[in-house]
Amino acid sequence: MIDWQTEAKKRTEELFTDLFTMLHIDSERDVEHSTTEFPLGEGPAIALRQMLSLAERDGFKTKNVENVAGRIEFGAGDETLGILAHVDEVPAGSGWDTDPFEPQVIDGKLYARGSADDKGPMMAAYYALKIIKELNLPVSKQVHFILGTDEESEWAGITRYLEVEPTPDFGFSPDAEFPIINGEKGIASFLIEFKPELTTNGEIRLLKFDSGLRDNMIPQTATAIIEGYELDNLSTEFVAFAAENGLVADAQVEDHQYILELTGKGAHALEPRAGVNAATYLATFLNGLDLDLAGKQYVQVIADHFHLDSRGAHLGIKTTDDLMGELTASPDIFHYRVGEISDIVVNVRFPQGIAAEQITKLMEQAINHANVSSKIFGRVETPHYVSADDPLVKTLLSVYERQTGNKGKEQVIGGGTYGRILPRGVAFGAQFPGRENVMHQANEYMPVDDIIAATAIYAEAVYELIK
């Protein structure tokens, strides 16, 4: 009998040394500065190389696929278990109490961008494999520990990997929650475009509206610039509006131009209710002003169709499935410039029974303006489900139950993980039930004890799957 928890605890210091090394790297996808050597930016490639270097140090065979993905290999056999993790992270954003790339342990919590999503879980799964190797346990299957570099955006790295490298027969991604995620909603983003066909003349003009970092992050801040006269009470009204709704306001005046900024709460777009969308609140405030027609249309569409409606009712796309639950809609990127094409990017997590093509048509019909259109924006992920009766699901749940003493059950989420790239792929940990979900938020953290506990669970689970 192997005491997996003891084996994990033995390696605590070494594990956190390696994890800190990875967390120091800002590995946000950066295609704006891409090169032939670094197609997705230098940061993701540096993180990939670093992780492969750690594995080589520990005696694993590795492969770097064009600096966009990689593999750590272990074992031998006719079947291959895939462990699918990612080295990239979302932008750090604002609102941090610590430096997001200087990891710190405070009150038992490891704070850093990527600590929970996905470098902490990734390192736990890697050390699980390392434990099996160091114990020299007999195995009958191969393990391909696959590393992607842009899971938080377009999945170009993992897509390229699957084009040129073998696909595992089954596997899991350490990038979600325990006890298991064996179902994931479909995911698609949509571009709502406003053609500049309405007049921009008026006593109060909207000159600019900006908010959002990524289409899978609820925007924490939003800024608008308006121009007008006789707005003496605007700043006072704006601050009062923010206070009433639990946001923070900042108003500045420069030559009859008012710069208005709201700060809410960022969160992962998979559950919009977890955040406070600064952009929809700002648009709602501006909708109460007598703006020019073009500006008025932009903020009114936001206020009428997106504000405080995370289930898509006001977009005509509200959908519920008995297995996968409710559709969610999160407007995450906003861009308005007076006299130019303006847009909104909305991220939708949808269950079985509705398709992305149908969603975009319904949204356009609901908004119902001749100069406003909707189209699919980027990659579409269809709903994914692995039966609770599958041996993979049963094995992972039994290990979770054995180590935690808690009952395991199947779950479906709105998040998207690499688990869905395999027909028999699931997500497994590393967030434990009842823990605060801080992924994609400022002050992201993962409890230190949870990382070690996850390492033990992963070690036993991997061994059960490949022995």
The catalytic residues are: 88, 151
Please compute, for residue 186, the number of CA atoms within 13 A of its CA located in the half-sphere on the CB side: 20
At residue 69, what are phi and psi to the nearest 5 degrees? -160, 170
- Torsional sign, CA 34, 37, 39, 42: negative
Q: Give kind and range of the element (H or E) at residue 254.
A: strand 248-254
Only one residue has tokens 């694993």, namely: 60
d(CA 32, CA 370): 33
Cβ-contact 450, 435 below 8 angstroms: yes
Nearest partner of 252 among 224, 273, 210, judged by Cα: 224
Strand partners, 190: 346, 376
Side chain identity, residue 98: T
* DSSP annotation of 34: -
At residue 208, what are phi and psi to the nearest 5 degrees? -160, 145
d(CA 8, CA 27): 27
Nearest partner of 421 among 144, 141, 48, 76, judged by Cα: 144
CA distances from 147 to 119, 144, 157, 161, 418 (A): 11, 9, 9, 9, 10
- Own/partner pairs, 158-163, CB within 8 angstroms, 24+ separation: 158/69, 158/84, 158/86, 158/418, 158/421, 160/65, 160/66, 160/68, 160/69, 161/65, 161/68, 161/69, 161/71, 162/421
Tell me if the bond preceding 118 is cis, omega within 30° of 0.
yes
User: In a 10 Å sphere around its CB, with 0-12 CB exposed, 13-18 middle and 19+ buried, how is residue 366 labelled?
Assistant: middle
Only one residue has tokens 């056999």, namely: 77
Strand partners, 263: 221, 248
Pairing verdict, β 342-350 and 204-211: unpaired
At residue 233, what are phi and psi to the nearest 5 degrees? -95, 5
d(CA 139, CA 172): 18
